[in-house]
Structure 1
C-alpha cells in the first residue's frame, strides 16, 4: 500500500465535517452528562455503520461516474416509485438542510461568542461572520480549496475535543466497559437514537457520491477512497467519543449544549477547557454550515438535470439561498419549528428508503459489475437497513408525538 493511501484529506473528511455538527455535539454532550460512559457503544456502532454506507456511496460515484440522484433516476424504472423517491430526497435534503442550516450557524456562533459577542439589540451579527466564512469557501468553487479548508477545521475541532477529553482523566476500565458492553439505561433509548441519527446522515450519502466522482476517476482509486472514508469517519467517531467522555465528568449536571459543557469544566480544569470546547463548537458549526448547502445544491441540480459543477450559477444559487436563510434565521433568533418538524419526518422516511436504494444499487451487476457488494456485505448492509428503518420510524413517531 502506497503512502498516498494513508493521506487524510479527501471526500471522507468532508463527510466527517458534515456529521460532526452542533447537533452531534449537543446529543453527545447530553449522552455523557446524562449517562456517563454507558452509551459510548452507540457512538462506535453508528460510526461503523456510517463507514459501511459511506464506502458504498463513494464506490458508486467512482465506478459509475454519476451522482446518487442521477443513479436513482436511471435505475428506478417505475415512474411512480422514482417520483416518490426523488420527492422524499428533495424534501428531506433541500428543505431539511434549509431548516437545519440556522442551527449549524447558530452553533458556530455560540462557540465564537465565548471569545467576543456581536449582539446588537435583538440582532446577533456573529452568525453573519460564520455565514461570510462559509460563503467565501463555497464561492471560490474549487474542490481543493473546499477540501483544505475543511481538513483544517476538522483538525482544529478534533484537537479541541480530544484534548478536553484527556483533561478530564477518564477511568479507563469504565470507559472500555461503556465502549464494548452495550446497555440501554432507563430513558436512554431516545439518546441512543439521537446519536445514531446525527451520525448516519442521509445527505452525506449524496454528498460523498458527488465528491468522490470529482476527486477520483478510475477503479484503481477505490483503495485510496476506502482508506480515506474509513480513517476520516473513524476520526469523526473519535471526536464524538471525546465529547461524551468530556461530558461524563459532569454526569448529573444539567447541560443544554457544548458551551454549557465548557463552562462546567472551567472551575475544575481551568478556563482552558472552556475555550477548547468553544473552539470545537465553532469549527463544528462552520463545517456543517459549509457542507449542508453543498449537499442541497448537488441534490437539486441532480434532480432537475442542471450542471452540477461548483462554479455553475444554478448550483451556486441553490447553496446561496440555503446559506442566506440560515444566517437570517440564526441572526434574529427565529426558529422555523414547523419546517424543522417537516424536515425531521422527511428525514425519517428518507433514511430507510435511501438505505434500501443504496444496498440495491451496490448489489447490481449492471451498476457496479465486479465491484458490486459481496453476498456477506449485502447481508450485513441489509441488517443495517433494518436498523435504519427502525430509527426512521422512531424519529417520525417522536415528531408526531
Structure 2
C-alpha cells in the first residue's frame, strides 16, 4: 500500500490521462511494463538489505565517498522541487474540492500550506502504524474513485485489451510512452521501501518472499492506476498542461457520468496527491538520517532512524522550505534540475546489478538470470527515458 500510494502522484495521473487522450489506449502496455520494471528495482533494494543487513546507502558507500555525497546533493535538490510540486498539487486538489477564496491562486496557496502542515503533524505525531492505516485509506479512496471513473467513462474495451498485451508505439506516441514508462511508480521514493520493511521488523532472507509479494501487490495497483487514467483520457478530448488538467478531467467526467463522476474523481485525485505527500514526508527523511548515521560510522542496529533529530529535522524542512514555490515561478530551475534527475534511475539499476551479483558482497543470494535480465532492460530503458528528458529540458532552457 505504501509503495503504491507514494509512487502514484499528480504528475503520473495527468501524464497518463493526457497520453490516453492524445494517442488512445494503444499505450496501455507502457503502464504495465513501467510498473514491472520499477518492481524489479525495488526487489533489488530489498534483496540487498535482507541479505547483508545493511541499507542501500551503506552499499553505495562501498563505491567511495563521491557517490554518497553526490547523492546527498541530489537528494537535497530533489526534496525541494518534489516537495514544492506536491504542495502545489495538494493545493490545487483542495481548491477544486472547496475554494477558500474567490481568487483561485490564493485558495491554492492556502490549501497548499494547510496540506503541508497537516501532513507534517500527522507524520510527526502519528507514528508508523498510524501512517500505514492512513495511507491505506488514501489508497483505497483513489483506487475506487479512479477505477470507477475508468469503467464509467466507457472506453473501447477490445482496443484496450490489444493495447495492454501488444506493445506498440503509435504515431507521435513516443513521448507519451516514455513519460508513462518513466513516471509510473516513483523514483527516489523507491529507496524508502528498505526503511519501511525495517520498521515492520523484517530482517534476514526468510522475509524475501514476503517482500516480493508486497511488491507484486503494490506495483499491480500502480499499473492499474496508470492504465485506468489512460482509459479515462482515451474517452475525452483534453488539452493543456499542469494541474489545470485535473479540473478539466473532472468537468468532462461530470458531463459523461454526472455529478457523481465529477466529485468521485476529484476525491480520488486528492487521495492520490495527499498520499504522495504523506509518503514523501514520512519516507524521505530516512535517507538523510541514514546518510548522517553512515557518516558517523554508527551501526544500523544501534540507531532508530525515525526517532533521530536528523529524521525529524528533515521532515520539518520538507514541509516548510519548499513553501515559497507556491509563489515563485521556478520553471527554468526545475528544467535544469530535470537534467540531473534523469540520471537517478540508471544509477540505481547499474549499482544494483553490480552489488547484487557479487558473491563476496551478498553471498549465495545473488540475482537469478530473470532478475538480471529485468535490471538490464530497466537500465537500458531509463537511459533512453533519461536522455530524452534531459535533451528536452536542455532545449527548453535554451529557449526559442
Q: After TM superposition, is the score higher than 0.5?
A: yes
- Equivalent position of 2:224 in the other structure: 238
1:139-178 CA-to-partner distances (Å, cap 9, x unmatched) read 0262212211111111111111001011112222111111
Of residues 374, 378, 388 in structure 1, which corresponds to 2:382?
388
Contact 1:259 1:277 in 2 (8 A): no
- Equivalent position of 1:345 in the other structure: 339
Matches within 5 A, 1:11-26: 13-26=1-14
- Equivalent position of 2:187 in the other structure: 202
Partners in 1 of 2:362 and 2:199 — Cα distance? 18
Contact 2:37 2:374 in 1 (8 A): no
Contact 2:185 2:219 in 1 (8 A): no
Contact 2:42 2:191 in 1 (8 A): no
Contact 1:203 1:295 in 2 (8 A): no
Tell me, which stretches of 5 or more residues in structure 2 are unaligned? Answer: 297-302, 396-400
Partners in 1 of 2:305 and 2:211 — Cα distance? 21
Cα displacement (A) at 1:311: 2.2
- Equivalent position of 1:365 in the other structure: 359
Tell me, which stretches of 5 or more residues in structure 1 are unaligned? Answer: 1-12
Matches within 5 A, 1:2-401: 13-73=1-61, 75-76=62-63, 79=64, 82-83=65-66, 85-119=67-101, 123=106, 124-140=109-125, 142-215=127-200, 216-250=202-236, 252-256=237-241, 257-305=245-293, 309-330=305-326, 332=327, 334-401=328-395
Partners in 2 of 1:335 and 1:157 — Cα distance? 29
- Runs of 4 or more, structure 1, over 3 Å off, are 119-123, 293-296
The CA RMSD over aligned residues, in Å, is 2.0
After TM superposition, the structure 1 stretch with the greater mean CA deviation from structure 2, 54-63 or 301-310, is 301-310
Partners in 2 of 1:21 and 1:58 — Cα distance? 23
1:287-313 CA-to-partner distances (Å, cap 9, x unmatched) read 221222444322222323265621222
The DSSP-based 3-state class of the residue aligned with 1:371 is: coil
Contact 2:141 2:271 in 1 (8 A): yes
Pair 1:162–1:39, CA change in 2 (3 A): same
After TM superposition, the structure 1 stretch with the greater mean CA deviation from structure 2, 28-37 or 58-67, is 58-67
Pair 1:166–1:146, CA change in 2 (3 A): same
Cα displacement (A) at 1:375: 2.9
Cα displacement (A) at 1:200: 4.9
The DSSP-based 3-state class of the residue aligned with 1:217 is: coil
